[in-house]
Amino acid sequence: MKKLNITKIRADFPLLHQQVHNHPLVYLDNSNTTQKPQSVIQAMNDYYEHDNANIHRSVYNLSERATQLFENARDKIKHFINAKHRHEIVFVKGTTEGINLVADCLSRCHINAGDEIVISAMEHHSNIVPWQFVCEKTGAHLKVIPVSENGELDLQKFTDLLNEKTRIVAITHASNVLGTINPIEKIIEIAHEKNIPVLLDGAQAVAHLPVDVQKLDCDFYIFSAHKMYGPTGTGVVYGKEKWLHAMPPYQGGGSMIQQVTFPKTTYADLPYKFEAGTSNMAGVIGLGAAVDYIQHLGMENIVSHEQDLLAYATRQLQKIPGLRIIGTAPEKIGVISFILEGIHPHDVGTALDTYGVAVRVGHHCAMPLMERFGVPATIRASFGVYNTEEEIDVLVESLLKVQALFK
Ligand code: C6P
């Protein structure tokens, strides 16, 4: 492990070097979306300037180059999450589309009336609503693993929820609100003992924790490029080959077919069966560059830096009177949700902005979790590899000023 040079890393991100309301920008909303290093911006620019053509469809040189760049990105993702096969990597718009894809496809081949789907009380709406659609469509039922006061899943209750009717467990790897890193190895082991597949929502984990899908043995792992220093509009569904083979296509259109006749259509091989229409070529190439960037820094170095930030920020924030942290599990990513006694989170967020501090306030697309903790909203600081202890000091000083203002 090596100590990262954060000053050097910050120089890679052009956006970070700006003033907001006459203060240096302190960007602490990385769970929402991360900023992009120059190498990612450059890869996408280069693509448009030199290699843009539609992929998989033409024989001319430009199209072949574009196809090559796109497929190279698939190989990068395969290695990044250690998938067994490159055709287990499906490109989608993002985590939301990815979970919708799996839910919808499974609803047409694997889930029937009376079946059960297990999720948890800390899921993002993207890992709740698609399963509600499935329940409405098939007559299946949603079961929810409760969350303890410190923000952990109750594994005993989880085990008790599983039975012969359970068709899938869909859980977030790490919570976007609490920061909790779930014990996914254990969850997968327990579910697999009963032959139940497990889908992991990796949106908050993939840029902050090492992910090895073969070692985990998860059935699906889904994530968005824009939360891992890549562009918006791109994401990945990793699915085990056997599931991708078993599932029908999600959307119909160009690229996903083998042969179309009016009586019958046959489908393309994996992964193209799930990639209907023109793909987001520049986005996927940008994602490939983001993977290169993360690997160049080294995931274990990133984890170490972000864990230091988390520990420092937790210590400093706890010193603020009337501040309550929501989510105090022992294993967390660099996400801290909190409330300030007597001040609405939205007022805190707006006031912090006047000091150049960007945090997210609101329900974070996890309304059931807000209800669980009896709060309408929280203030959330979430860290990326370019954040510093000095920025956390600015957050803390600004919060003290906000408190004084609202007294
Ligand atoms: N969470 C946040 O501020 P998309 O929008 O498809 O890229 O990602 C959706 C999503 C799915 N799962 C989890 C755990 C997430 O955190 C998110 C996105 C952002 O927390 C925006 S609501």
In this structure, the answer to whether residues 318 and 231 fall within a common structural domain is no
Catalytic hit among 105, 135, 218, 365:
365
Residue 55 falls inside a structural domain: yes
Clarify whether 135 is annotated catalytic. no
Task: Enter the pTM of the model.
Answer: 0.98
pLDDT given at position 124? 98
pLDDT given at position 1? 86
Residue 279 falls inside a structural domain: yes
In this structure, the answer to whether residues 218 and 321 fall within a common structural domain is no
Domain-terminating residue out of 296, 329, 364: 296
Contacts of 45 by beta carbon, 8 Å cutoff, 6+ apart: none
Ligand 1 pocket, mutate which of 91, 95, 226, 237 (most atoms under 8 A from CB): 95
Shortest CA distance to 364 belongs to which of 347, 381, 344? 381
In this structure, the answer to whether residues 242 and 194 fall within a common structural domain is yes
Q: Give 68-113 pLDDT, tens digit per residue.
A: 999 999 999 999 999 999 999 999 999 999 999 999 999 999 999 9
Q: How far is CA 46 from the centre of its chain?
A: 26
pLDDT given at position 380? 99
Backbone angles phi, psi at 267, to 5 degrees: -105, 155
pLDDT given at position 68? 98
Contacts of 216 by beta carbon, 8 Å cutoff, 6+ apart: 184, 185, 188, 200
Residue 65 falls inside a structural domain: yes
In this structure, the answer to whether residues 11 and 145 fall within a common structural domain is no
CATH code at position 372? 3.90.1150.10
Burial class for 368, CB neighbours closer than 10 Å (0-12, 13-18, 19+): middle
* Residue ranges in the chain whose pLDDT is less than 70: none
In this structure, the answer to whether residues 363 and 241 fall within a common structural domain is no
Residue span of the structural domain in which 92 resides: 41-296
In this structure, the answer to whether residues 148 and 68 fall within a common structural domain is yes
User: For residue 97, which atom of ligand 1 is closest to its CA?
Assistant: 6
Residue 175 falls inside a structural domain: yes
Contact (Cβ atoms closer than 8 angstroms) between residue 130 and residue 104: yes
In this structure, the answer to whether residues 336 and 243 fall within a common structural domain is no
Distance 263 CA to ligand 1 centre (A): 40
Distance 62 CA to ligand 1 centre (A): 35
Number of domains present in the structure of the chain: 2
In this structure, the answer to whether residues 237 and 346 fall within a common structural domain is no
What CA–CA distances, in Å, run from 264 to 23, 172, 257, 259, 403? Answer: 62, 38, 11, 8, 66
User: For residue 95, which atom of ligand 1 is closest to its CA?
Assistant: 6
Residue 407 falls inside a structural domain: no
Check pocket membership of 204 for ligand 1, CB cut-off 6 A: yes
User: For residue 32, which atom of ligand 1 is closest to its CA?
Assistant: 3
The protein residue whose alpha carbon is closest to atom 2 in ligand 1 is 32
Check pocket membership of 172 for ligand 1, CB cut-off 6 A: yes
Torsion, CA 9, CA 13, CA 18, CA 20, rounded to 10: -100
Check pocket membership of 180 for ligand 1, CB cut-off 6 A: no
Ligand 1 pocket, mutate which of 30, 101, 126, 363 (most atoms under 8 A from CB): 126
Q: How far apart are CA 332 and CA 168, in angstroms?
A: 25
Check pocket membership of 95 for ligand 1, CB cut-off 6 A: yes
In this structure, the answer to whether residues 236 and 327 fall within a common structural domain is no
Residue 1 falls inside a structural domain: no
Do β-strands 265-267 and 26-27 pair in parallel, antiparallel, or remain unpaired?
A: unpaired
Residue 101 falls inside a structural domain: yes
Check pocket membership of 380 for ligand 1, CB cut-off 6 A: no
In this structure, the answer to whether residues 69 and 157 fall within a common structural domain is yes
Check pocket membership of 182 for ligand 1, CB cut-off 6 A: no
Check pocket membership of 279 for ligand 1, CB cut-off 6 A: no
In this structure, the answer to whether residues 67 and 130 fall within a common structural domain is yes
Check pocket membership of 378 for ligand 1, CB cut-off 6 A: no
Residue 35 falls inside a structural domain: no
Domain-terminating residue out of 296, 327, 360: 296
Backbone angles phi, psi at 332, to 5 degrees: -135, 155
Q: Give 1-60 pLDDT, tens digit per residue.
A: 899 999 999 999 999 999 999 999 999 999 999 999 999 999 999 999 999 999 999 999
CATH code at position 189? 3.40.640.10
User: For residue 224, which atom of ligand 1 is closest to its CA?
Assistant: 7
Domain-terminating residue out of 273, 296, 319: 296
Check pocket membership of 115 for ligand 1, CB cut-off 6 A: no
In this structure, the answer to whether residues 217 and 245 fall within a common structural domain is yes
* Token pair belonging to 117: 């789907």
The protein residue whose alpha carbon is closest to atom 19 in ligand 1 is 32
User: For residue 366, which atom of ligand 1 is closest to its CA?
Assistant: 22
pLDDT given at position 407? 86
Shortest CA distance to 151 belongs to which of 314, 323, 329? 329
Q: How far apart are CA 306 and CA 304, in angstroms?
A: 6
